Amino acid sequence: MKLVVAGSTGLLGSEIIRQTLHIPEITEVVALSRKPLRLDEGLDSSKIKNFIISDYGEYPDEVKAEFAGADACIWCACHTSPHVEFYTYHLDRGYRTVAITPFRSGEFDSAEVKRVCQDCTKIGFDAMNNAGPARPFRFIYLSADGTPRDPEKKAFLWAEYQVMRCNTELMVLKFPTENEGVEICIAQPGVITNWTSFTRGVVASVFSATNLIGVPFPNIYLVDAAAAVLDQAVHGIEKETLRNADLVRIGAKALKSRNGVRELWWF
């Protein structure tokens, strides 16, 4: 199968790309990113084509041509969780994302926030859908836990931003009704824990400890989140919206099936 990954150098996107190298069903990967991919030496990455996208609202003809025949897209170009950013922003100032995050949304005009996070999602989908992808074409949009589905309900934090994200999800939900042969999934992970830096490891350890007595804040291991959305892209979409608990379950099962044991730690 041919898979498009938008936002392939972000935290989640990088892990998705890493795992595609170990999934034989995926034979081609079109990796869209704002900077070149960094792949581990010694791995066969011949099935990956990396295209640098300066703006996710514009696609050169050569990139549009690569969308033809695609079976699925995982759109994590605009993914960021307010919970993730809260912890990483204050503990690790090296955090970066191609999206305009809730914490940074005040630095931009509201029209630009909408363009980057909502309009570019529609433009990207249209570019792929118009290129002649396979049918069904699965479009998996990475959102975040806690995103409201009623734009009239104002969130306590980042109210305007959350309404924008709500409207983006509602827009994505309409793709199948407006485009024949399209299947969509909105993934809503909570805090994505990982050990890619010392401070992130501290956060991951805290959540690992609290998970032993309950899950006060929805959270998921990075490897599980990537495995879950890849499973939906390869084997079919379970349901339109996957909450954090769904992703934990699907990701753990996918990794166990693929590796024989669940992969808990990745450095």
**Does a structural domain hold residue 36?**
yes
The mean pLDDT of 251-256, rounded to a whole number, is: 96
Q: Any residues with CB less than 8 A from the CB of 123 and at least 6 apart, and which?
A: 56, 57, 58
With a cut of 50, say whether residue 251 has pLDDT above it.
yes
pTM (two decimals): 0.85
- The domain of 143 spans 2-259
What are 87-146's pLDDT values in tens digits?
Answer: 333 333 333 334 555 545 555 578 888 998 999 999 999 999 999 999 999 999 999 898
CA atoms within 13 A on the CB side of 40: 12
Going from the C-alpha of 193 to that of each of 44, 54, 254, the distances in angstroms are 27, 28, 18
Which candidate, 57, 67, 72, 63, places its Cα nearest to that of 23? 72
Tokens of 174: 């309409």
Range from 98-102, 182-186, 263-267 carrying the lowest mean pLDDT:
263-267
pLDDT recorded at residue 218: 87
Q: Any residues with CB less than 8 A from the CB of 202 and at least 6 apart, and which?
A: 91
State the pLDDT confidence band at 162, using cuts at 50, 70 and 90. confident
**Does a structural domain hold residue 112?**
yes
What residues pair up with 83 in beta bridges, in sequence order? none
What are 200-218's pLDDT values in tens digits?
Answer: 554 545 545 555 565 567 8
Range from 76-80, 114-118, 244-248 carrying the lowest mean pLDDT:
76-80
**Does a structural domain hold residue 267?**
no
Number of domains within the chain: 1
Strand order across the 48-52 sheet:
48-52, 28-33, 2-6, 72-75, 137-142, 182-187, 241-242
**Does a structural domain hold residue 108?**
yes
With a cut of 60, say whether residue 43 has pLDDT above it.
yes
pLDDT recorded at residue 211: 54
pLDDT recorded at residue 208: 54
Q: What CATH number has the domain bearing residue 155?
A: 3.40.50.720
**Does a structural domain hold residue 266?**
no
